[in-house]
C-alpha cells in the first residue's frame, strides 16, 4: 500500500472518530439537559413496562401500584383492595379522609407464630396509640371487623398494612426485625394515614432526588392529590419515608427543599402525628 492511500485511509478514520465523539457529546449534553420532570416521566414510563406494575383509580386519582403475591402494593407498604382500585367515589377518598374505624375502636388479634419479639413490639405500639391518641386498639373476642397482626419474614425488618377501615378481617404484616417505630407506622396506615412525602404540599418542604431512585420505583414518590392533608407538613412524622428510601446508589432520594440532607429517626409519634390522628378521630 503506497503512502498516498495510507494517508487517505488515516484521514477517513480520524473523521469517523470525530463524528462519534461529537455524537457522544451531543448525547451527554442531551441527558444533562433533562429536568426533574423529564427524569421522573422517563422513570415512570420504564416502571409501567414491568408486568407487575399497574395503574388503577384511588379516590378518583390514577395511581401506580405493584401486584405482588396477589396483593396490590401502593407506595411500597400500603395494601389496597381490588375494590379500592376501581372505586371513583369522592366520598371514599384516601389520605386522612379515608374510611375510619367506627368510634375509633380497632379490634385486633395476633397470629400465633409472631413470637415474643414481635409480640412485645406490638404491645408497646398498641400502648402508644391507646395512651396518646383517640383511637383504642382492643383485643378481639368475636368481632367480625378486626385487624390481625401476621408474621412476614424471619430475616427482614419491614412491614405492610391495609389502609383505613374496610370491614371484615384485614392484616398488618411485620417482619422479625421491624422496629417499634415502624410497627407504629404500619398501624398508622390501618388508622387511615398515607405517607407524609406524598402530601400535596410536599414540594414546598422536600426535594425528590429522582436520579438516585432505583429503576422502576419512581412512582412510589408520586404525590397523592386525592387525599386530605391535615396540619402542617412534618418531615419527622412517623409516616415519613426514609431519606434513602429506594436509593440505587446509597445517596438520598429525599432532601429538604433547600437541597440539604435531613436526619430522620422513626422512633414513634411526633406531636403532629398525634394531632392528625385526633383530628381524624375526635
H helices present in the chain, as ranges: 3-32, 36-47, 115-132, 180-191, 271-280
Q: Tell me whether residue 195 is annotated as binding.
A: yes
Q: Count H helices, E strands: the chain?
A: 5, 11
Residues 136 and 164 in one domain: yes
Residues 187 and 206 in one domain: no
Q: Catalytic residue numbers?
A: 186
Q: Tell me whether residue 189 is annotated as binding.
A: yes
Query: Of 229, 253, 256, 258, nearest to 242 (Cα)?
Result: 253
Residue positions counted in the chain: 282
Phi, then psi, of 158 in degrees rounded to 5: -115, -175
- DSSP-derived secondary structure for 4-52: HHHHHHHHHHHHHHHHHHHHHHHHHHHHHT--HHHHHHHHHHHHTTSTT
The verdict on residue 94 lying in a domain is: no
Helices 115-132 and 180-191, axial angle in degrees (round to 10): 60
Residues 178 and 106 in one domain: yes
Residue 148 grid cell: 390481625
Residues 151 and 106 in one domain: yes
Question: Which CATH number fits the domain that encloses residue 233?
Answer: 3.40.390.10
Phi, then psi, of 108 in degrees rounded to 5: -145, 160
For 198-227, how does the pLDDT look when each residue is reduced to its tens digit (9 = 90+)? 999 999 999 999 999 999 999 999 999 888
Write down the pLDDT at residue 49. 54
Give pLDDT < 70 ranges for the chain: 1-50, 87-98
Amino acid at each position: 500500500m503506497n503512502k498516498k492511500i495510507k494517508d487517505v485511509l488515516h484521514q477517513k478514520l480520524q473523521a469517523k472518530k470525530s463524528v462519534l465523539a461529537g455524537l457522544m457529546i451531543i448525547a451527554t449534553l442531551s441527558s444533562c439537559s433533562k429536568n426533574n420532570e423529564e427524569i421522573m416521566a422517563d422513570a415512570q414510563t420504564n416502571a409501567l413496562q414491568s408486568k407487575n406494575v399497574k395503574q388503577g383509580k384511588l379516590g378518583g386519582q390514577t395511581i401506580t401500584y405493584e401486584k405482588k403475591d396477589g396483593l396490590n402494593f401502593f407506595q411500597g407498604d400500603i395494601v389496597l383492595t381490588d375494590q379500592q382500585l376501581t372505586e371513583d367515589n369522592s366520598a371514599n377518598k384516601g389520605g386522612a379522609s379515608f374510611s375510619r374505624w367506627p368510634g375509633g375502636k380497632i379490634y385486633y388479634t395476633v397470629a400465633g407464630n409472631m413470637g415474643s419479639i414481635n409480640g412485645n413490639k406490638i404491645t408497646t405500639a398498641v400502648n402508644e396509640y391507646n395512651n396518646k391518641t383517640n383511637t383504642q386498639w382492643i383485643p378481639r373476642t368475636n368481632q367480625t371487623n378486626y385487624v390481625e397482626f401476621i408474621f412476614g419474614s424471619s430475616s427482614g425488618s419491614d412491614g405492610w398494612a391495609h389502609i383505613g377501615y374496610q370491614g371484615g378481617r384485614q392484616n398488618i404484616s411485620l417482619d422479625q426485625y421491624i422496629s417499634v417505630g415502624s410497627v407504629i407506622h404500619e398501624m398508622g396506615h390501618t388508622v387511615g394515614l398515607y405517607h407524609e412525602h406524598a402530601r400535596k404540599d410536599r414540594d414546598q418542604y422536600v426535594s425528590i432526588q429522582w436520579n438516585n431512585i432505583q429503576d422502576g420505583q419512581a412512582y412510589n414518590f408520586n404525590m397523592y392529590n386525592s387525599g386530605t392533608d391535615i396540619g402542617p407538613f412534618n418531615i419527622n412524622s412517623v409516616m415519613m419515608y426514609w431519606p434513602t428510601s429506594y436509593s440505587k446508589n446509597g445517596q438520598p432520594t429525599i432532601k429538604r427543599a433547600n437541597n440539604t440532607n435531613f436526619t430522620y429517626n422513626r422512633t414513634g409519634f411526633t406531636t403532629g402525628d398525634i394531632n392528625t390522628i385526633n383530628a381524624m378521630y375526635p
